[in-house]
Amino acid sequence: MTAAFNFDLKATDGKARTGVITTPRGAIRTPAFMPVGTAGTVKAMLPDSVAATGADILLGNTYHLMLRPGAERVARLGGLHRFMNWERPILTDSGGFQVMSLAGLRKLTEEGVTFKSHIDGSKHELTPERSMEIQRLLGSDIVMCFDECPALPATDDEVARAMRLSMRWAERSRAAFGDRPGHALFGIMQGGVTPELREESAAALKAIGFDGYAVGGLAVGEGQAAMFGVLDYAPGFLPEDKPRYLMGVGKPEDIVGAVARGIDMMDCVLPTRSGRTGQVFTRRGALNIKNARHQDDPRPIDEACTCPACRNYSRAYLHHVFRAQEIIASMLLTWHNLHYYQEIMAGMRAAIAEGRFEAWQADFHAGRAEGDLPPL
Ligand SMILES: [Zn+2]
């Protein structure tokens, strides 16, 4: 493993960008969607199946893995890639977001956060230094800075305080990460919906210097209009020549809108979680397979989709196995959703490269306006 971490911006179309991130574990084509493998597995999917959907990289959660099975244990067993049998790149979050969500179970200081495990109530501490250590033990290819994302609703003062604390933690994260060739450290911009705070945060991160930059503090309940409002200007504060990652996004429409505003990477539990609850995403919008109107329908979810669920099974069958709570329902619906998400990403990459992203977006929105096929 010798190749350095590198981002090659290949083409732009409006604000949208396409490129390739090179890592020792393989290339990541951008814009990239990262499936979420919270606890060392993308739920209901084998790693080969995740790769078959077109995913170049997946995301692991520091918070969950540090509590169970524990980062030191994963390291003794050869690191997360080997442990979960995924050879391609992995990005880990810092644990910050999940810890901050533990309202009432955590205590925040300048040093870091102490909290009680949601599993067994045991006491733990996360600091920028410990988060860097855990992500190193896991063997993550892209490491995220430890930050504080304030819960909404938050006052401007609270957002500013959390952003400035996050910038001090970013500096400590950078120092603790050290020099690790082939591994990347991303800074996380905070600042809520206030342009001045976003600009201040971006300037602080750029002064420290990172391999990539995330737009944090969005997709936390502010709504699509407010999120797009921030994305209209915030990516412009970040360096052109580094990847930009929007954390925790989102629905297909959110992803397309974010790419149109200059985002290169995203992750979300939506396609996998929805697969387990019977919601499927298609180019004609979302549908719920448990709805009785599917029970006699011999057609696939989407006749144009080439995933195993659509190639081999009817809506009637998927409806049946979902209602019967058969495990294959989660497997097939998750596969379809991840396949659909990766198809959107591939479509956008090609359209941006060929300078026809505007037309691609018009087609994308026209398909949704058409709506799902009526029952037979
Ligand atoms: Zn499908």
For the stretch 232-290, pLDDT in tens is 999 999 999 999 999 999 999 999 999 999 999 999 999 999 999 999 999 999 999 99
CA 291 to ligand 1 center in whole angstroms: 18
Tell me the two tokens of residue 145.
Answer: 């800075």
134 φ/ψ angles, rounded to the nearest 5 degrees: -60, -45
Beta carbons of 30 and 41 less than 8 angstroms apart:
no
Neighbours of 297 (CB within 10 A): 18
**Which residues lie closer than 8 Å to 210 by C-beta, 6 or more apart?**
145, 170, 174, 185, 186, 187, 242
CATH dotted code for 6-268: 3.20.20.105
Is residue 246 a contact partner of residue 231, using CB atoms and an 8 Å limit?
Answer: yes
Parallel, antiparallel, or unpaired: how do β-strands 212-215 and 244-246 relate?
parallel
Binding residues for substrate: 93-97, 147, 190, 217
Q: Which of 13, 267, 297, 302 is catalytic?
A: 267
Q: Output the CA 25–ligand 1 centroid distance in Å.
A: 28
* Catalytic status, residue 93: yes
pLDDT, one tens digit per residue, over 154-163 is 999 999 999 9
Identified catalytic residue from 93, 141, 297, 302? 93
Please enumerate, by residue number, every residue annotated as part of a binding site. 93-97, 147, 190, 217, 305, 307, 310, 336
- Distance (angstroms) between ligand 1 centre and the Cα of 342 equals 11
On the question of a cis peptide bond just before residue 128, with omega within 30 degrees of 0, the verdict is: no
The per-residue pLDDT for 156 is 93
Q: Distance (Å, rounded) from C-alpha 275 to C-alpha 36?
A: 13
Instruction: Tell me how far the alpha carbon of residue 336 lies from the centroid of ligand 1, in angstroms.
Output: 4
CA 335–ligand 1 middle distance (angstroms): 7
* pLDDT for position 141: 98
SS3 content of the chain, % helix, strand, coil (to 5): 45, 20, 40
Beta strands at 142-144 and 90-92: parallel, antiparallel or unpaired: parallel
Q: How far is the CA of 362 from the centre of ligand 1 (A)?
A: 22
Domain with CATH 3.20.20.105 in the chain: 6-268
pLDDT at 2: 53
Distance 112 CA to ligand 1 centre (A): 44
In whole angstroms, give the CA distance from residue 57 to residue 43: 15
CA 81 to centroid of ligand 1, rounded, Å: 27
Tokens 């078959």 correspond to 52
At residue 80, the pLDDT reads 98
List CB contacts of 350: < 8 A, sequence separation 6 or more. none
Cα dist from 160 to 102, 145, 149, 293, 315, whole Å: 21, 18, 11, 50, 49
Type and span of the H or E element at 143: strand 142-144
CA 256 / ligand 1 centre spacing (Å): 19
Identify the pLDDT of residue 1. Answer: 47
DSSP string, 150-198: PPSS--HHHHHHHHHHHHHHHHHHHHHH---TT-EEEEEE--TT-HHHH
**Residue 120 appears among annotated catalytic residues:** no
Task: Pick out the chain residues at pLDDT < 50.
Answer: 1
Using DSSP's 3-state secondary structure scheme, residue 16 falls into strand
CB 152 within 8 A of CB 104: no
**Residues shown for the chain:** 376
State the binding site for Zn(2+): 305, 307, 310, 336
59 - beta bridge partners? 36, 91
pLDDT of residue 102: 84
